[in-house]
Amino acid sequence: MTLVPGIEKVLIANRGEIVVRVASTLRRLEIASAAIVHPEEADSPAARAVDETCPIDGETPVAAYLDAERIVEIALRIGADAVHPGYGFLSENADFAEAVERAGIRWIGPTPASIRLMGDKIESRRFVANLGYPLTPSANEEDAPSDFAERAQAIGFPLLIKPSAGGGGKGMQIVRAEDELAPAIELARSEAERYFKDGRIFAERYIDEPRHIEVQILADTHGHVLHLGERDCSIQRRFQKLIEETPAPGMERELRDRICAQAVGIARAAGYQSAGTVEFILTPKGEFYFLEMNTRLQVEHPITEMVTGIDLVEEQIRIAAGEVLSFVQEEIRFEGAAIECRICAEDPDHDFRPAVGPLLLVRPADGLGVRFDSGIEAGQTVSTAFDPMLAKVIVHGRDRNEAIRRARDALERTVILGCVTNCDFLGRILAHPEFKAGSVDTGFIPTHAADLARPSMSREERAALLAVAALSNRDFLERVEAVPEPYASIGAWQN
Amino acid sequence: MGYDFELQDRMSVVHPAHGKKNFTLAIDGRLFDARLVPTQNDGEFVLEFEGNRETVFVATRGDVHFVHFRGRAHRVEAINALLQAQRAAAPSGGAETLCAPMPGVVVEVLVEEGDEVEAGQRLMTLESMKLQTPIVAPHDARVAELCLQAGSSFDQGAVLVRLEARDEAEGEAE
């Protein structure tokens, strides 16, 4: 008997960091855990985090983790009571959710109908507009494909072209002038087809430098819907979130209450169940517009867990088991501030090009108020086959200043060698006076690009690094050994 | 006679200048006392440098040294003379060999070996960082070799396509 009656074993249909994360809650709840594992990752922290690994193969590793049919077969074969989809991959695939339920297995997530309604950008916008909430002006291609370009243009530039089935910033194109429109539509359509097997796209007004605010929702199957506060995810690069924090800095209580209430209103109207996130954009004038709903656990969920003390994965599992939420809105306490930094394999000093290579040394930061969520370890090779995110450093402080200090300190103590990462770049953002002042928006990184550039190194620091390299270099050391009197071999440098 | 190291896109020369263990190093013509002492932890060392003792983490792969120092990770590459000579001799970019500008995955290959292609024609589509980039023929040519298939991933600098001049190939054909 586990701590959640009715759920004895859960199959995690994902890979990497989120498998480790979900498995840790399952262990605490005394529920057996299983995960699908591609042969390339047979010896990984994710594979070792679960009680049972289920090999799954495919044309590419990504294809394996997207093989819905096989995953359902595996869940049945191993006798899983429930499937946790994590984030990404099949987490917002209504057909997969339905196939899981049809097999008599619980789906740890919202109903397939909710995923269809809220996970689809066009459908969800229509739904939210009908509720009377404000949206940015937009045009859907499928309403009348022949004049889509004209209708998009009529919204006015700048525009954003997005895949309807999308998420995570994939396939989005900004269009600032008429001549960019046709190629952007074509590119967006092909990327939408590729990422989501769904070529539908839509256009919406692009608001320059808004803030990205999202609200964490929890809803059970008995009609209780509540929010766990907001997250500010404005620090982004090419629509990919890099740093998230809660509470949103400098946000007036009245505005926060209105945004959270609207998120709850949308989730309730949609009959939403499980954990979900309602995303908004907030303009500098304080207007906010519904952006989309993510019908799954988010990458940045730990910051909400830090300030509320609520384990979102546990709540998802209990909701899936049919339990009533064990707390009401007024009982949720928000304590202090939390920040998450996403460590990615990329080189911020060379136009953020993706980095690859074997991880030679990994030493996670730890300490008071620090959480390190990752699926990496030394010996593993970072390739471009998967998402570039390697780890998340999450910190909690009594207030925002303390959280920033802890995050900077934790990033400095995080050692990842063998593959270039954005670790130092994240620290530069946290150290920026405008970030400290809480003036963040989605244009933060391009706006402050010059300030965020790699600082120059002192001569002494450069010399120290070169000394370390020389003293670690086999050829260099062998040469020293080979020449009994090094003074004899030099001379050129001596004045 | 010194060793060249590249750090942050700049080269420096390091000479051994004294003894075997407790080195004096000449770095870009200035002398420094330096010693690197292992600790019991894997990859963790104490750097004794100019009278200071500081913890550093070092991981080495061939001639590339990754060093975590004062809270930041750095990459220092030893450039040996042979490699330098090879770099100098290599045709820069090679007009007929198209290389990957960054690591990624091949999304689609639009031509076949032997195809005649025109300047500007799309040969393949790459994807890096979730962004697609077309690879186009820089000039009229014939596809001599496709080095990667759709779905394969590659590192920065990997050869994608070899092109040959159309007339050159004519003589060899059939």
Alpha-carbon distance values, B93 to A9, A89, B157 (Å): 55, 37, 9
Sign of CA dihedral A159, A161, A164, A165: negative
Indicate the pairing of strand A106-107 with strand A82-84: parallel
Flag if B103 and A384 touch (Cβ within 8 Å): yes
- Picking from B85, B117, B150, the residue at the C-terminal end of a domain is B85
Flag if B78 and A475 touch (Cβ within 8 Å): yes
pLDDT interval class at B86 (50, 70, 90): low
Query: Is the per-residue pLDDT at A309 higher than 80?
Result: yes
Residue B119 sits in the same domain as residue B157: yes
More confident residue, A395 or B163: A395
pLDDT interval class at A142 (50, 70, 90): confident
Residue B27 sits in the same domain as residue B55: yes
* A1-50 pLDDT, tens digit each: 899 999 999 999 999 999 999 999 999 999 999 999 999 899 999 999 99
Chain A interface, best mutation among B4, B24, B31, B74, by max A CB count within 10 A: B74
Give chain B positions within 8 Å (CB) of A170. Answer: 130
- Tell me, what's the pLDDT at B103? 80
* A434-469 pLDDT, tens digit each: 999 999 999 999 999 999 999 999 999 999 999 999
Flag if B66 and A361 touch (Cβ within 8 Å): yes
Q: How far is A359 from chain B (nearest CA, A)?
A: 9
Looking at the structure of chain B, the number of domains it has is 2
Residue B123 sits in the same domain as residue B53: no
Q: Which residues contact A48 (CB under 8 A, 6 or more apart)?
A: none
3-class state of residue A47 by DSSP: helix
- Tell me, what's the pLDDT at B171? 40
Flag if B26 and A412 touch (Cβ within 8 Å): no
- Picking from B36, B65, B85, the residue at the C-terminal end of a domain is B85
B112: exposed, middle or buried (C-beta count within 10 Å: 0-12, 13-18, 19+)?
exposed
- Tell me, what's the pLDDT at A488? 40
Query: Is the per-residue pLDDT at A115 higher than 90?
Result: yes
The number of C-beta contacts closer than 8 angstroms across A and B is 204
Flag if A454 and B8 touch (Cβ within 8 Å): yes
The tokens of B90 are what? 């290599």
* A411-423 pLDDT, tens digit each: 999 999 999 999 9
Residue B167 sits in the same domain as residue B103: yes
Please say whether the beta carbons of A15 and A386 come within 8 A: yes
Flag if A486 and B18 touch (Cβ within 8 Å): yes
**Helix, strand, coil % over all residues of chain B, rounded to 5:** 10, 55, 35
Give chain B positions within 8 Å (CB) of A353. Answer: 102-103, 128-129, 156
φ, ψ of residue B25 in degrees (nearest 5): -115, 140
Domains of chain A: 9-108 (3.40.50.20), 137-205 (3.30.1490.20), 211-452 (3.30.470.20), 459-489 (no CATH)
Closest Cβ–Cβ partner in A59, A191, A360 for B151: A59
pLDDT interval class at B148 (50, 70, 90): confident
Q: What is the mean pLDDT of residues A238-258?
A: 95
* A351-375 pLDDT, tens digit each: 898 999 899 999 999 999 999 999 9
Residue B62 sits in the same domain as residue B20: yes
Residue B80 sits in the same domain as residue B103: no
Residue B101 sits in the same domain as residue B50: no
Give chain A positions within 8 Å (CB) of B56. Answer: 468
Residue B46 sits in the same domain as residue B98: no
Q: From the CB of residue A208, how many other CB atoms can be counted at a distance below 10 Å? A: 12
Residue B66 sits in the same domain as residue B100: no
Closest Cβ–Cβ partner in B2, B36, B153 for A471: B36
Flag if B131 and A238 touch (Cβ within 8 Å): yes
Helix axes A94-102, A112-119, angle to 10 degrees: 180
| Residue B134 contacts A where some CB pair is shorter than 8 Å | no
Which residues constitute the domain of residue B140? Answer: 92-172
- Picking from B85, B120, B135, the residue at the C-terminal end of a domain is B85
CATH number, residue B130? 2.40.50.100
Residue B76 sits in the same domain as residue B127: no
- Tell me, what's the pLDDT at A34? 98
Residue B15 sits in the same domain as residue B74: yes
* B45-68 pLDDT, tens digit each: 999 998 899 999 999 998 899 999
Closest Cβ–Cβ partner in A357, A468, A495 for B36: A468
CA separation for the pair B92, B98 (Å, rounded): 11
Q: What is chain A's Cα-based Rg?
A: 24
Give chain A positions within 8 Å (CB) of B54. Answer: 464
Please say whether the beta carbons of A102 and A260 come within 8 A: no
DSSP letter at A222?
T
Nearest residue of B to residue A59 by CA position? B151
CA separation for the pair A472, B66 (Å, rounded): 10
Nearest residue of A to residue B42 by CA position? A361
CA separation for the pair A389, A401 (Å, rounded): 26
| Residue B67 contacts A where some CB pair is shorter than 8 Å | yes
Q: How far is B171 from chain A (nearest CA, A)?
A: 39
Residue B15 sits in the same domain as residue B75: yes
- Tell me, what's the pLDDT at A81? 97
Give chain A positions within 8 Å (CB) of B42. Answer: 361
| Residue B34 contacts A where some CB pair is shorter than 8 Å | yes
Flag if A463 and B28 touch (Cβ within 8 Å): yes
